Amino acid sequence: MRALITGAAGFVGTALVERLLHDGRCVVRAAVRNAGSKLPDGVERFDAGDFAKQINWSHGLVGVDMVIHLAARVHEMSEQASDPLSGFRRINVKTTLDLAQQSAAAGVSRFVYLSSIKVNGETTAPDRPFTPNDLAAPQDPYGISKHEAEVGLREIARTTGMQVIIIRPTLVYGKGAKGNFKSLTKHVASGLPLPLGSINNLRSFVGIGNLVDFIVTCLEHPAAANETFLVSDGEDLSTPDLIRRMAPAMNRPARLLPVPKSMLMAGAAILGKRDMAQRLCSNLQVDISKSRTLLGWNPPFSVDEGLKRAVGGN
């Protein structure tokens, strides 16, 4: 069996390639944008070039049984852009569907797509976690583009017979993670007090080890075909609890100030950080019961194990 992985040099891709090489379950071919990208020994290489342009995938798909599409535009574009959605659509929709169409034509049997929980939305009501069957409610260009790609992939699966598996992870953390998790790690490492002690929310997270294990499960499990899954660690945490669990792994104290949420949000708005504060204070829970029952999958790593792997030694 041979698998083509896009985004193989990224955060998730690096961990997935390492796992597949360790397991020896398939030949790994990495699609890279930069000809100078370094890959581990034993990994086949396909130089795809600029993902924002039309790509002929024919050479990269020779002998490939399954495609794992991780590559995406994830960083927000400049607020000055007149049409920010178009930039996300160019890579997250057009490139994804071009690859899927060419994959089906080349005889690829299974296409695994890493989407985003942002397709469901940004927040959940208390005790009302997102499920895979919820109506899509993306609220930003990234989430919209991911949803449009999902719609297109399902149509390709319907018309070609290629099996498509869609995975929507929550915030992914691990060694080398960027974005919000990296920022929070830096704040905890500084030892400075954080004004989050009064926040009473619940959020789902997924460690990189659990996400990679779930992707590997979806590669071959017959029940995964043409299904959509949500994935998390299976334990939801408040933001203060997350910090309290991170701090010991970093040999740092968890210093939390009990600032009322209203004051915190007001201060964040003044500093232009309202969106970040909203993510730290709001609920975002997911129900992974479908992943458990249909695939028999359970997260192999606990939250504490995942956090120790992610921040231990910092």
Q: What distance lies between CA 36 and its chain's CA centroid? A: 25
What is the enclosing helix (H) or strand (E) of 249? helix 239-249
Which residues are the active-site residues? 142
Q: Scan for tokens 């005790």, then name that residue.
A: 127
The pair of three-digit structure tokens given for residue 62, joined into one six-digit string: 């020779």
Hey, what amino acid is at 167?
I
250: Cβ contacts below 8 Å, ≥ 6 apart: 185, 188, 189, 311, 312, 314
User: For the chain, what is the largest distance between any 2 Cα atoms, rounded to a whole number of angstroms?
Assistant: 58
Q: Scan for tokens 């043409």, then name that residue.
A: 226
> What radius of gyration, in Å, describes the C-alpha atoms of the chain?
20
The pair of three-digit structure tokens given for residue 117, joined into one six-digit string: 């929980």
Q: How far apart are CA 92 and CA 87, in angstroms?
A: 9
- 243 φψ region: left (φ > 0), alpha (ψ -120 to 50), beta (else): alpha
